[in-house]
Amino acid sequence: MRILQIILAFNCLLFANTRILEDSYLINDNTILASHIVTIKQELDFAIDRFDSKSSIQLPLNKLKRIFGEHNITIDSRYPVITFHNFADFDPKPIIDALTNRFIEAYPTIEIDDITIKPASFIDANNLQIAQVDVSQNALKRNKGSFAVWFGSENAKVKRAFFTFEIDATIRALQASKQIARGTIIAENNCDETIMAFEAISAKPIDRSLLGKVAAKSRLNKGDIITDRSIAIIPDVRKNSQITIELIKNGVKISFIGSVEKDADIGELVNVRDREKRVFTARIISKDIARIE
């Protein structure tokens, strides 16, 4: 026997306004067991359309008047449509735990105060286990959104339901303590830590593990939050930096000083130029050495 919890609400189509009429009601198969509507008697049954796979049904007031009128009960309302919202009885904790872990993975410095979830579609899991919680990268960028939950087992996904979420959290971020010019390395001497509401961020803030490893993509003003959009990873070798150029031929190694013509990482092939402005193609072996191939 399937027992689903629903909320009865009046929905005014003209003003898109929804008002809660009463508390919870129970629906058992195709029968609403409503004990709080007007003067309805305890456990008196009323048959209306089934939900089946729907998350809600809308019934014209005239139809409900006819249904309840058959039991000598009068419904008086100025709202033309009554909406029955269908919510299943489920344990939200495993879903909230999975959602919490996804946010912590994406934002190591986040401090979550509360996460609320609500079903956005019909749920009839029939005691199936939660098999997987799917949260997109886009959903993780905001403090509210939607995600999917698969029910079934570890080996088989049987049913999918959609949920909405809202998260109340703060996050530790780094902000420029002074104006930072483009190309400047982000370090302890030009940024401070601050705590801000998660909903206020527009991009993922960087954390302290990146200090000394990234540079500003463009100018940052004092107070600007430093995010992954405003920085670039510092290459192993910077453009025009001095480097030792090696040439190994017939067992003989020749070394001379030159410079690289663009930013490059170890293992990358780049053009290098010696002091006589001759250009060679060389592979970056380390931060100090490039080998002509």
Q: Give me the residue spans of the domains in the chain.
A: 3-88, 93-168, 170-233, 242-292
> Tell me: the pLDDT tens digits for 127-136?
678 888 999 9
Would you state the pLDDT for residue 66? 77
Beta-carbon count within 10 A of 66 CB: 11
Q: What is the CATH number of domain 242-292?
A: 2.30.30.760
Would you state the pLDDT for residue 78? 64
> Tell me: the pLDDT tens digits for 228-253?
999 999 889 989 999 999 998 888 89
Does the pLDDT value for residue 89 go beyond 70? no
**pLDDT classification of 181: cutoffs 50, 70, 90:** very high
Instruction: Report the percent of the chain where pLDDT is more than 90.
Output: 50
Whether 242-292 and 170-233 are alike in CATH topology: the answer is no
The CATH architecture assigned to 170-233 reads Alpha-Beta Complex (3.90)
Chain centroid offset of residue 245 CA: 47
pTM of the model: 0.63
> Tell me: the pLDDT tens digits for 20-63?
334 344 444 444 444 434 334 444 455 555 555 555 667 777 87
Query: Do 212 and 233 meet the contact criterion of CB atoms below 8 Å apart?
Result: no
Does the pLDDT value for residue 140 go beyond 60? yes
Segment 183-187 mean pLDDT = 93
Lowest mean pLDDT among 9-13, 123-127, 215-219, 279-283: 9-13
Would you state the pLDDT for residue 40? 41
Cα four-point dihedral sign 52, 46, 57, 62: positive
